[in-house]
Amino acid sequence: MAERLIVVGGDAAGMAAASQARRRRDRDDLAIVAFERGHFTSYSACGIPYWISGVVPERDQLLARDPATFREEFDIDVRLRHEVTGIDLERREIVARGLDGGGEVREAFDTLVYAAGAVPLTPAWAHTGARGVFGVQTLDDGAALRDWLESEPAPRRAVVVGGGYIGVEMAEALIQRGLSVNLVERGDQPMSTVDGDMAELVTDAMRGVGIQIRTGLPVTGLEERDGRVTAVVTAEGPIPADVVVLGLGVRPNASLAEAAGLPLGPTGGIRTDRRMRVPGVSGVWAAGDCVETLHLVSGMPVHVPLGTHANKQGRVAGINIGGGYATFPGVIGTAVTKVCGLEVGRTGLRERDARAAGFEFVSVVAESTNRAGYYPGARSMTVKLIAERPCGRLLGAQIVGWSEAAKRIDTLAVALWNGMTVDDMTALDLGYAPPYAPVWDPVLIAARKAVDALAGAGR
């Protein structure tokens, strides 16, 4: 009889694990059943704001593989609109319920992959039942929001609560759709993934396209009329709204795993080893936004919910389940985004992260251009480096610029991954031509400035 692999969660990590396991083991050896509570498998959640804005015209352009492909080409039994509600490790079975009818089902497993993703942080004040309030975590969420934006009467005023990646990207998407937009952030800056001096550049760009930004302002409630949201309530008074988008971050979707007895780490994510096995539980693996992982610079456990990590972790789990060998070493927190035409990239530690980890460091900010200053289209670029003192090892980097900035963070991510010092980096043999870079690339200029700062700190 074939072994049975049950996958909880049908997006990036879960279906990557299922696909990799199938590539190594056929159905006679391994039967695979994947449960997904939504209507879609393997889609780009990161692309939802661009579909909302209309930059991506069709929803299905965000789909990497549909359920039919997994069934027909990979022989994976995908069960959409089924929510797993229980895991019994002693009986080696899961319990699921059909969300569109069909009742409860029980399925035995020999091997389990828990890839339930993350769930949005939703404050108590948002649970009023008022129509017009949306999270944007899944493609189903995005579809519901887009339907609302195209409803009658068409919304004209939007409030985005939270200034993280989703918040700022959705604020831009709604501006592009012609709505007036207020972004409300209880902290002192949007884009807390970068340091405050770099976030100011992002804030200026957002205000430049008409987004009203209110920082240091917690939301306390909602106002509604006839079941529709009409305003967001704050300490400074109500802000009118025909649609409210929540961008308050996410947490690991690990409550079901915890109830089953799987170990959680200090971030609330599921603990795994480097092969994505759950320690102390035979035949159980976890991957994606529901797990915590190791930050390779700080040495601390972190929860970094990104599709890049989810796909890699799922692939590692699937290879191992299939009889191969693979590991996921950890992360350094590399991420990029576009905000109102401004490109933002970061990797490694921010200043506050470096302090929390106990590092002594210097930080420098260098201004340059994306290409030779005399070449048409040259635009400004700001690079920030954080280097350990006295050794000069790179600890973190951030880039903000108008063109060709974001992907330059990859150069810095590779340097960080390989433990380079800023002195090492000044000699990097980077490509040069006037249409692509100044003779001294912005990365090299920042590295030279960091070397000078370390010398000054030493004196």
Task: For residue 271, give the DSSP letter.
Answer: P
Half-sphere exposure of 118 (CA within 13 A, CB side): 25
> In this structure, what DSSP letter does residue 278 have?
P
Distance CA 390, CA 385 (A): 15
Kindly compute the dihedral angle of the four CA atoms of residues 33, 34, 35, 40, in this order, to the nearest 10 degrees.
Answer: -140
Q: Which residues of 148-180 are buried (b: 16+ CB within 10 A; e: fewer)?
A: bbeeeeebebbbbbbbbbbbbbbbbbbbbbebb
* Full DSSP string of 118-186: EEE---GGGTT--BTEEE-SSHHHHHHHHHHHTSSSPP-EEEEE--SHHHHHHHHHHHHTT-EEEEEES
For residue 452, give both structure tokens. 């000078």
Q: How far is CA 335 from CA 150, 234, 405, in A?
A: 32, 31, 12
As annotated, the active-site residues are: 46
Find, among 91, 112, 127, the residue nearest to 34 by Cα: 112
**Helix, strand and coil in the chain, % to nearest 5:** 30, 30, 40
